[in-house]
Amino acid sequence: MASVLSISNLTKTYASGLQALKSVSLEIQKGEIFALLGPNGAGKTTLINIVCGIVTPSTGTVTAAGHDIQRDYRAARMKIGLVPQELHVDMFEKVIATVTYSRGLFGKPANPAHIEKVLRDLSLWDKRNDKLMTLSGGMKRRVMIAKALSHEPEILFLDEPTAGVDVELRRDMWTLVRNLREQGVTIILTTHYIDEAEEMADRIGVITRGELILTEDKTTLLQKLGRKQLILQLQEPMNAVPAELAEWRLALRAGGNELEYTFDAKSEQHGISSLLRRMGDLGIGYKDLHTDQSSLEDIFVDLVHDKGGAAR
Amino acid sequence: MNHHAIWSIYYFEMHRFLRTAFQSIATPVITTSLYFVVFGAAIGSRMSDVGGVSYGAFIVPGLIMLSLFSESINNGSFGIHIQKFTGTVYELLSAPVSAMELVVGFTGASATKSIMIGVVTLLTASLFVPLQVLHPWWMVAFLVLTSVSFSLFGFILGIWAKGWEQLSIIPMLVVTPLTFLGGAFYSIDMLPPTWRTITLFNPVVYLISGFRWSFYGTSDVGVEISLAMTLVFLGICLATVAWIFKTGYRLKN
Ligand SMILES: Nc1ncnc2c1ncn2[C@@H]1O[C@H](COP(=O)(O)OP(=O)(O)OP(=O)(O)O)[C@@H](O)[C@H]1O
Ligand SMILES: [Mg+2]
């Protein structure tokens, strides 16, 4: 598959001095659904806003559908649709007027049939002559989506499309996203709901503190996410894992200098304390210990936490 | 050239204007009428003619200019400022629209409104005093140029302002004094020599003078100078807008 969006070494330092992105590189394949996960303030919106032209990058390049977003911004932006995280609408306008306006703004000739289709797909057709201020929040979000789809973009950014929407709209949104994918639209979305990423995405990227710490196929990632490793640096190297510690299924690493314990991060009963106690009983000392992919775990816990206060 | 975008912005802005057409037109009509009652009828009857023109007629071009200035600045600044304020500006920033197209759409709509209001003011004035327009094409030229320049100025203001207070402070602190001291209600010949010299540094003098010349053929300064000054002002505004978009000043992070 060809790459439709190519981000390389992108950094962003805001005027406040805050470095929101630290050299992010990412390739998005044509037609895929990519979910960007990460805690609040990780830089998701910053990344999206740079690609869409709302924020200027400090360094790095982005090409969308083969066009450099800065040099060739016109061609690039015509291919891109954006549903921003915040609700920004013209309160006094009518639904159909604001959607029609968006199409024109993106350089497409008027096409009432397409506008009608978009509004119908989003169940907005009956409300087309309503002023935006009379709509509910979820309805306003639909209008934002309609605006983003008005010019038939090839790449669609959905920045937290399901934040604060009800179950029904969430389902509608998923259906819509799938339909769009069938039409060949590439979709990049951010979410705090891991089940949403699980449900929809082909590939997942995790960003934290401005760094894209991993991009992975959904299936691969879900296996990885559930696992975590505890690494113990031993005071004295050993040749084999003692039989007394067999139940933890430990692995010996670094020439017998490290013990590695892999456990399921999701389970409450991970057995770390009992392992350490047993090691104490056996007189096996360790100089240091650390957990691998701990930042990933942070994010994961954060995401799971958001999902409904599950594990921590 | 994204002419669909220019047209969309223009249409959108005009639409917003037409939604409030009554207020938009009523305000200048009422204001102008008040000026005529006070300056034309009450005070004007005791004033001598200025350069062979009755005082009531003399102040008409200045009054039209006054409403052009304030309308253009208001209209020009409001459209973009409200978008910054509500956040809908995200769409403009992410659209395949060049700075020039954006400016043409916004200031085009703003100038159109101002010209409409200028014409309405003129018609209102004609109810109170006998008017003549010696150089109609020049009049139109000044009307259009002034509307465009001040709409552009307003547009810059709308981008620059961080809030509604800032938005109103420039018109209040700078533009209103300049217009009142710009010869709208008097010929600068009436001033003592020192003040006359000082007045010549006021760009508004040239606009009002040139506009008045197109009506009555008399002016405080040469019409060429008036035209040149108008174009200079327009040029400065254009350059500023170009710079704003080049640097993203107060638009982008
Ligand atoms: N205009 C700005 N000026 C200065 N700092 C900013 C600006 N916008 C964002 N930031 C900072 O940049 C960092 C990344 O913000 P960003 O909005 O990209 O996060 P996010 O991943 O979208 O978070 P969330 O999940 O809360 O939406 C944050 O620390 C934020 O405070
Ligand atoms: Mg965000």
- Start-end of H helices in chain B: 3-19, 21-35, 55-86, 89-94, 99-128, 136-160, 164-170, 176-180, 193-199, 203-216, 223-247
Question: Max CA-CA distance within chain B?
Answer: 59
| Domain C-terminal end among A169, A192, A222 | A222
Q: Assess whether A13 and A158 both reside in one domain.
A: yes
Q: Assess whether A268 and A184 both reside in one domain.
A: no
**Is any atom of ligand 1 closer than 6 Å to the C-beta of A43?**
yes
| Domain C-terminal end among A203, A222, A241 | A222
Using the Cα atoms of residue B159, residue B163, residue B164 and residue B170 in order, give the sign of their dihedral.
negative
The string over A249-262, giving b where at least 16 C-beta atoms fall within 10 Å of a residue's C-beta and e elsewhere, is ebebeeeeebbbbe
Percent of chain A scored above 90 by pLDDT? 49
Give the model's confidence band at A268: pLDDT under 50 very low, under 70 low, under 90 confident, else very high: low
What is the reported pLDDT for A112?
96
Give the number of domains in chain A: 2
Q: CATH number for the domain including A144?
A: 3.40.50.300
What is the reported pLDDT for B91?
94
Given A75, A97, A106, which is nearest B95 (Cβ)?
Answer: A106
C-alpha span between A98 and A213 (Å, rounded): 38
Using the Cα atoms of residue B74, residue B77, residue B80 and residue B83 in order, give the sign of their dihedral.
negative
Q: Which tens digits make up the pLDDT trace of B27-84?
A: 878 888 888 778 777 777 777 777 778 888 888 898 889 889 888 999 999 999 999 8
Q: Assess whether A51 and A178 both reside in one domain.
A: yes
A77 and B95 within 8 Å at the Cβ level: the answer is yes
User: CA nearest A20: which of A214, A208, A210?
Assistant: A210
Instruction: Give nearest CA residue, ligand 1 atom 28.
Output: A41
**Residue A286, in any domain of the structure:** yes
Instruction: Name the residue with tokens 């060429």.
Output: B224
Q: Which tens digits make up the pLDDT trace of A223-264?
A: 666 667 788 888 888 888 888 888 888 888 888 888 888 776
- Give every strand in the sheet of A286-292, ordered side by side: A251-253, A258-264, A227-234, A286-292
Q: Distance from A52 to chain B by nearest Cα, in Å?
A: 5
Under 8 Å between Cβ of A99 and A150:
yes
Under 8 Å between Cβ of A49 and A61:
no
What is the reported pLDDT for A296?
42
Q: Assess whether A214 and A275 both reside in one domain.
A: no
**Residue A298, in any domain of the structure:** no
Q: Which tens digits make up the pLDDT trace of A280-301?
A: 888 888 888 887 654 444 445 5
Q: Assess whether A84 and A71 both reside in one domain.
A: yes
Q: Assess whether A217 and A231 both reside in one domain.
A: no
Amino acid letter for position B15: H
Mean pLDDT of A61-71: 94
Given B88, B92, B248, which is nearest A56 (Cβ)?
Answer: B248
**Residue A305, in any domain of the structure:** no
Q: Residue B11's closest chain A neighbor by CA?
A: A101
Under 8 Å between Cβ of A78 and A150:
no
Q: Assess whether A91 and A189 both reside in one domain.
A: yes
Q: Assess whether A120 and A197 both reside in one domain.
A: yes
Q: Assess whether A128 and A25 both reside in one domain.
A: yes
**Residue A70, in any domain of the structure:** yes
Domain ranges of chain B: 3-247
Q: What is the DSSP string of A164-201?
A: T--HHHHHHHHHHHHHHHHTT-EEEEE-S-HHHHHHH-
pLDDT for residue B6 is more than 50? yes
Query: What's the Cα-to-Cα distance from A293 to each of A74, A218, A286, B57, rounded to whole Å?
Result: 41, 17, 20, 83
Q: Assess whether A232 and A200 both reside in one domain.
A: no
Q: Assess whether A150 and A246 both reside in one domain.
A: no
C-alpha span between A143 and A145 (Å, rounded): 5
Supply the range of the domain harboring residue A139. 3-222
* Kind and range of the H or E run holding A252: strand A251-253
Instruction: Name the residue with tokens 């240091």.
Output: A288
pLDDT for residue A64 is more than 50? yes
Mean pLDDT of B232-237: 91
Q: What is the CA radius of gyration of chain B?
A: 19
Q: Assess whether A185 and A76 both reside in one domain.
A: yes
Under 8 Å between Cβ of A301 and A238:
no
3-state secondary structure at position A207: strand
**Residue A269, in any domain of the structure:** yes
pLDDT for residue A310 is more than 80? no
**Residue A301, in any domain of the structure:** no
Q: What is the DSSP string of B187-245?
A: -GGGS-HHHHHHHTT-HHHHHHHHHHHHHHS--SS-HHHHHHHHHHHHHHHHHHHHHHH
Using the Cα atoms of residue A148, residue A149, residue A154 and residue A157 in order, give the sign of their dihedral.
positive
**Residue A304, in any domain of the structure:** no
Provide the terminal-to-terminal Cα distance of chain B, rounded to the nearest Å. Answer: 26
**Chain A contact set for B9 (CB, 8 A):** 105
* β partners of residue A12: A21
**Residue A240, in any domain of the structure:** yes
Given B9, B86, B248, which is nearest A105 (Cβ)?
Answer: B9
Mean pLDDT of A57-74: 94
More confident residue, A79 or B26: A79
DSSP assignment letter at B172:
I
B contact test, residue of A62, A69, A101, A105 with most B CBs within 10 A: A105
